[in-house]
Amino acid sequence: MATRRMVLAAPRSFCAGVARAVKIVEKAVETYGTPVYVRRQVVHNTHVMERLAARGAVVVQELSEVPPGATVVFAAHGVSPAVPGRRSRSSASRWGRR
């Protein structure tokens, strides 16, 4: 059997979708102030999520946990088309803005 060798690139970085999701949360905090609510983890990286939390991102599991009129960012992995619709039928006066 032949020996196989694995070569890891250095430095390794995030895919474009993850990098974009992180920038969106950071920009939301900068633009709208804190807190910015994040529905579920925008990325599956504990260190990144801790850093975003330190900047003012609050992770929630469901939109029912988000106060009306608050800023919400969805995960980089996508979300069911029904989810934003549930929020728009709630008492929020404006979707996605403070």
Domain map (residue ranges) of the chain: 33-98
User: Class of 33-98 per CATH?
Assistant: alpha beta
pLDDT for res 87: 52
CB neighbours of residue 81 within 10 Å = 7
- Residue 18 host element (H or E): helix 16-32
Identify the band that residue 95 occupies on the pLDDT scale cut at 50, 70 and 90. very low
pLDDT for res 86: 56
Would the pTM count as exceeding 0.95? no
- Residue 36 host element (H or E): strand 36-39
Residues 29-33, mean pLDDT to the nearest whole number: 94
